[in-house]
Copies of this chain bind each other. A is one copy, B any other.
Amino acid sequence: MQVAAYAAKSPEAPVEPLEITRRDLQPNDVLIDITWCGVCHSDIHTARNEWGRTKYPIVPGHEIVGKVSATGANVRKHKVGDTVGVGCLVDACLTCGACHDGDEQYCEKGSTGTYGGTEPVIGGQTHGGYSKQIVVRDEFVLKVSDRLNPAEVAPLLCAGITSWSPLKHWNVKAGDKVGVIGLGGLGHMGVKFAVAMGCEVVMITTSEEKGTDAKRLGAHDVLVSTDRDAMKAQRGSFDFLLNTVPVKHDLNPYLMLLGRNGTMVIVGAIEPLEPMHGGLLLSGRKRVAGSGIGGIAETQEMLDFCAEHGVTSDIEVIAMKDINAAYDRVVKGDVKYRFVIDMATL
């Protein structure tokens, strides 16, 4: 089937209209009319080939919300008219140990990304959500409650689950003192989740202004990381740190904030970090871990939690034609906290 979309055609060119070919509906597939699509920084890295592995043309977008418009014969999970979501994954083997454990994102045979992955039926590469429609295997389609604003749900499918998964994996619970480092797409969801879970939430940021905004989002306290006295005063007091800083940085000042058996999880920085001090890990048996997105079942669990607690993303809605200007603003950090494309404007 031919579908209208917006694609990047080269590293320098703007994202612009392109008709793409998607596979026809297979027996296990769901056809989704896309209504909203979030704009993730990964979209920009991919469109501009900043990770060096983009094949053009490519349709970005992996924070997808829409309505089911058709289902294959074997589909049981979803029905026409349902509001649904699709995140960063559209396929995996579902038989390996990782898939068995609900870690489809770490599928041993390699999961299929929503864009830039290998399209398993018609070949070529997968294309994402900057598009009128998408065809996705039943198991990788999430249920979205109609109690939530669907535009504000879109960013939950990547920014949301990336913050949610480590909080759950490390058993963060009510009463824990949780620090969220960095206030962007991921960090603002980390604050909202940890607050909704009943944690004592501290926004850790270099910017007083971001601190004020974090309080609006529910954070109980703000710690300005450039204030050495304030950092010293909170030394050893945190159970958990969600580190959303997306660039190379020094972990050591944050390690000093952790208490005994405390954990810092890195979800943003995928590059070499500044030298970490071994002694800071040894004293108090601290841990530094990484985490990438989340599995399908836990993404559903997050969406259900959001419906129950009224948690969604803070967004700015844009028209499809404004995507290139939005990219420039994301790069400058000028968005609170996620752009979402109104796909009716395509």
Chain A interface residues toward B at CB < 8 A: 97-98, 103, 106, 169, 260, 263, 266-292
Q: Which residues of B contact A277 (CB under 8 A)?
A: 271-273
A273→B275 contact, CB < 8 A:
yes
B275→A282 contact, CB < 8 A:
no
B272→A278 contact, CB < 8 A:
yes
Q: Which residues of B contact A271 (CB under 8 A)?
A: 277-279
Given contacts A103-B260, A106-B260, A260-B98, contact A289 B281 (CB under 8 A): yes
B270→A279 contact, CB < 8 A:
yes
Q: Which residues of B contact A288 (CB under 8 A)?
A: 276, 281, 287-289
Shortest CB distance A245–B (Å) = 9
Shortest CB distance A303–B (Å) = 21
Shortest CB distance A228–B (Å) = 19
Contact of A292 among B285, B289, B291 (CB under 8 A): B285
How distant is the Cα of A172 from the Cα of B264 in the complex, in angstroms? 21
How distant is the Cα of A104 from the Cα of B10 in the complex, in angstroms? 60
A280→B274 contact, CB < 8 A:
no
Q: Which residues of B contact A103 (CB under 8 A)?
A: 260, 285
Shortest CB distance A237–B (Å) = 11
Given contacts A106-B260, A260-B103, contact A283 B290 (CB under 8 A): yes
Contact of A290 among B98, B106, B285 (CB under 8 A): B285
Q: Which residues of B contact A269 (CB under 8 A)?
A: 278
A282→B292 contact, CB < 8 A:
yes
Closest residue of chain B to A291 (Cβ to Cβ) is B285
Closest residue of chain B to A96 (Cβ to Cβ) is B260
Q: Could you show 14 A-B contacts with beta carbons less than 8 Å apart?
A: A103-B285, A106-B260, A267-B282, A270-B278, A270-B279, A271-B277, A272-B275, A272-B276, A273-B276, A278-B290, A282-B291, A286-B289, A287-B287, A287-B288
Q: Which residues of B contact A98 (CB under 8 A)?
A: 260
Most buried by B among A267, A281, A284, A292: A281
B275→A275 contact, CB < 8 A:
yes
A282→B260 contact, CB < 8 A:
no
Closest residue of chain B to A267 (Cβ to Cβ) is B282
Shortest CB distance A165–B (Å) = 8
Given contacts A106-B260, A284-B106, contact A266 B278 (CB under 8 A): yes
Q: Which residues of B contact A263 (CB under 8 A)?
A: 287
How distant is the Cα of A103 from the Cα of B291 in the complex, in angstroms? 28
How distant is the Cα of A273 from the Cα of B275 in the complex, in angstroms? 5
Q: Which residues of B contact A281 (CB under 8 A)?
A: 266, 288-290
Given contacts A106-B285, A280-B290, A286-B289, 13 further A-B contacts (CB under 8 A): A98-B260, A266-B282, A270-B278, A272-B275, A272-B276, A272-B278, A273-B275, A273-B278, A274-B275, A276-B276, A282-B291, A283-B292, A285-B292
